[in-house]
Amino acid sequence: MQAEINIGTFGHVDHGKTTLTKALTGKWTDTHSEELKRGISIRLGYADVSVYYCEKCNEYSNLEKCKCGKETEFRRRISFVDSPGHETLMTTAIAASSIIDGALFLIAASESCPQPQTAEHLMILNAIGIKNIIIIQTKIDLVSKSRAIEHKNEIENFIKGSVAENAPIIPVLATHGINIESIFEVIEEKIPTPKRDVLAAPRFYVSRSFDVNKPGTEIAKLHGGVFGGSLIQGMLKIGDEVELRPGLQKNTFLEPIKFKIVSLHSEADKLEQAHPGGLIAIGTLLDPSITKSDMFVGAVIGHPGKLPPVVDVINVKYVLLERKDIENLPFRQTESIVINAHTATGIGVIANLAKGIATIKLKRPICIDKGSKIALSRRIGHRWRLCGCGTIS
C-alpha cells in the first residue's frame, strides 16, 4: 500500500509537531534529530498512515477496528511530510513544495498569536502558494477555555488576507489524542487526492542514496545501490530502464547513469509499480559503492531522454522575504547565493539582475524543469539565511 498524498506539517518548532504526528500516525518522525546528530545533510522526514471510516460513529481514524467495536472502512493512505521550524529545514520545505498537496499549520494556544516564527511560516506558505491549509490549534490544555477562544480570534485576524484565510481551525490535545478524528475528517473533506497524470514522463527526486549491505557481506549476496526519494509525476515499474541525471563526474563532464529498476518499496510494502505519494525506495543492480553516503541527493531519475535539462545557469523570478530578524536588502550583482530546488542544493553567483529576475551561475550543474520552485539563501554574517523564493523561468 502506497500513500496517495503528501501533507506537510508547518509551524513553530515548539508548537507540538512531533506529538501531533505521533497522534496521527502512531510514529515519531524524529529522524531529523538523528540525522542532524550524524551530521548528514538535512532532509524531509515522512510518516505514513492509513485513514479509516466508521459508518456507525460517522468518524474517521487510523484504526482498522473502531473504538465502538465495528470494522472500519479503508479510505486512503496519507504521507505526512515533516518540515520542522528550523530555518534550513524551511528552506528544504520550500524546495520540496512541489511534492506537498496540503499543509497542517500548527499554532500553540499557550502563546499569543502570531509568534515571529509562526508569522514567518505563514509568509512562506503564502510565497510558495500552498493551498489546502488546515490550522491546528495545539496545547489547548495549557490555557483556560476563554483564553483558547480568544487565541482562536487572534489566529483568525492573523490569517486574514493570506493563503490560509478561511482555513478550518481545529483545536486538539495531541498528547491525549483528543479531537484527532476531526483532523482526519477535515483532511478527507478539504484535501482530495489530486488527479495525477499517470502517463506523464516520471520524475523521481532523489533525497537519499545508499549502500544497504553490512560490512563483510559476501559478493554473491550483495544488494545493488538504492535510491530513496519522491515521485512527483508519472509511474515507475519494476523492470523499467531509467536514467539518473546530472550523473557521474567523468573528467570534465557529467555522464548520466543508466540502470534497470529491480525493486520498489514504499514505507511499509514492496511495490510492483509506484505512483506519486510518500517516500519510495528504488533498488538497482548498480555498484553500491557509487550510491553510498547520499552521493546522489538532488539527482533526478526518469525515462532516458525524458528528464529535465541539466543546466549551470538559471533564471529565477524571485521575491525577497520580509524578515523581522535580519536586514534583507535587495540582491547585488556578484553576490553569492545558495539555491535549493526539489532535493538539490547548489551554490552560485548572481550574474545579472533585471526586472525581478536573477540570473544565477551555478558552480555545479543541476537537473531542473522550468517552473520549479526554489528557495534562495544569502550569507549574512557567518551563516546562510533564507532570504527569498522564486520560480525557474
Q: How far is the CB of 178 from Zn ion (least distance, A)?
A: 17
CB closer to Zn ion out of 54 and 206: 54
CB closer to Zn ion out of 3 and 66: 66
Concatenated DSSP letters for 211-264?
A: --PPTT--GGGPPPPEEEEEEEES-EETT-EEEEEEEEEETTEEEEEEEE--EE
**Binding positions for Zn ion, rule: CB under 5 A:** 54, 56-57, 66, 68, 70
The kind and range of the H/E element at 121 are helix 116-128
Q: How far is the CB of 61 from Zn ion (least distance, A)?
A: 8
Residue 49 and residue 25 in contact, taking contact as beta carbons nearer than 8 Å? yes
Q: How far is the CB of 102 from Zn ion (least distance, A)?
A: 26
CB closer to Zn ion out of 54 and 261: 54
CB closer to Zn ion out of 58 and 252: 58
* CA 52/CA 68 separation, integer angstroms: 13
Q: How far is the CB of 51 from Zn ion (least distance, A)?
A: 14
CB closer to Zn ion out of 177 and 256: 177
CB closer to Zn ion out of 56 and 370: 56
C-alpha cell at position 256:
548520466
Query: How would you write 78-91 as a 3-class SS string?
Result: EEEEECCCCHHHHH
Among left, alpha and beta (phi > 0; psi -120 to 50; other), residue 248 is beta
The kind and range of the H/E element at 100 are none
Q: How far is the CB of 60 from Zn ion (least distance, A)?
A: 10
Q: How far is the CB of 168 from Zn ion (least distance, A)?
A: 23
Q: How far is the CB of 53 from Zn ion (least distance, A)?
A: 9
β-bridge pairing 5-11 and 102-108: parallel
In sequence order, what are the beta bridge partners of 376?
A: 339, 388
β-bridge pairing 133-138 and 102-108: parallel
CB closer to Zn ion out of 60 and 259: 60
β-bridge pairing 203-210 and 133-138: unpaired
C-alpha cell at position 193:
487526492
Q: In the structure, how many helices (H) and strands (E) does the chain have?
A: 7, 23
CB closer to Zn ion out of 59 and 240: 59
* CA 105/CA 12 separation, integer angstroms: 9
Q: How far is the CB of 181 from Zn ion (least distance, A)?
A: 10
The kind and range of the H/E element at 165 are none
CA distances from 18 to 133, 142, 275, 356 (A): 18, 17, 27, 38
